Amino acid sequence: MLAMAGSSCSATTRNYDLIVFDLDGVIIDSVGDIVAAVHHTLKLVGSQDRDFAFIRSCIPNTIRPFLLPCLDDHSKDRIDEAVEVYKTYYEQNCTQHTVLYPGVREALEYFAGKKKLAVATSNLSPATFKMLNGLNVFRYFDLIVTGDDVERSKPDPESVNYILETLGCSRDAAIMVGDTPTDIVTGKNAGIATCAVLYGIGTLAELNRCAPDFMVENLTELKQIVTV
C-alpha cells in the first residue's frame, strides 16, 4: 500500500535526488539485539528486568533517555554506568538477531547508482558500521551520519542538514524515510519531504499525527514515489 498521508498532502511523486533513511525500524530490524542488550545491562547494574514490550516502546529515543525509564528507581543513579555497559555489549552483539526488513535489499539495489542514498541514525558508529557491513548493504550508501557525528540528535535537523550540505543536494530534491514520529519531524525540520514506513516501531496513529507526505508498507513502494 502506497498512500498519501492525508487529503491535504502537498507533496507529489517526483525525481528526488537524495533519499535519507533512518536505520533501525527502516533498514534493519534490530529490536531483538537491542532488547537483549538492555536485559544484560539491567542485570549488571542490579536493576529489575523489563519485559519485551516495555523495552521496545522506549527504543525510539537516544541511548540515555532510552535506558533511563528501563532502570528501576533504585538503579537510576547508575545511568552513566548503564549507558557504558549497554554500548559495550550492544557493539559486540548487535548482529546476533538483526536482519534486513523485507524489500530493503531490493529497494537499495534499485536506487543505488541512480540516486544518492544516505543514513541518518541516532545509533553509534561502531554498531552501525558493523551491522551494515554484516548485512552487506554498507556499499549502497553515499553517506552515513550516526549519533557520534552530531551534537544534536533527531528531531533536530543537524544530521539531515549535514547530509544535504555534504552531498550537495537541495532541500526540495530530498526525502526522509523513517518509522517514528521523531524521523518525520526531523525531515520536516530540515525542510524536506517525508515518507513513513508502517512496519517499524511507530504506530499508524502516531505517524498520522505527524502528517508525513507519504506512507508505505514495504520499502519497494518507494519506486512509486521517487522516479528514476
pLDDT digit string, tens, across residues 2-11: 555 443 344 5
Residue whose C-alpha is closest to residue 18's, from 215, 198, 162, 172:
172
- Note the pLDDT tens digit of each residue in 200-221: 999 999 999 999 999 999 999 9
Strand partners, 194: 176
pLDDT digits (tens, 9 = 90+) for 111-148: 999 999 999 999 999 999 999 999 999 999 999 999 99
% of the chain beyond a pLDDT of 70: 94
CB neighbours of 228 closer than 8 A, spacing ≥ 6?
A: 15, 110, 111, 114, 115
Here the cell at position 8 is 491535504
Q: What is the pLDDT of residue 61?
A: 78
Q: Which residue has the higher pLDDT, 57 or 167?
A: 167
Q: pLDDT at residue 86 above 80?
A: yes
Q: Which of 7-21, 79-93, 140-154 has the lowest mean pLDDT?
A: 7-21
Give the active site residue among 22, 24, 29, 213. Answer: 22
What local confidence, expressed as pLDDT, does residue 9 receive?
A: 41
Where do we find the cell 504506530?
203
| pLDDT over threshold 70, residue 73 | yes
- Mean pLDDT score of the chain: 93
The pLDDT of 7-23, averaged and rounded, is 75
22 flagged as catalytic: yes
Q: Is the pLDDT of residue 15 over 90?
A: no
The residue-averaged pLDDT of 73-89 equals 96
Number of H helices, E strands in the chain: 9, 9
pTM score, two decimals? 0.92
- Comparing CA positions, the residue from 128, 127, 50, 138 lying closest to residue 90 is 127
Nearest to 26 by CA among 225, 228, 221, 192: 221
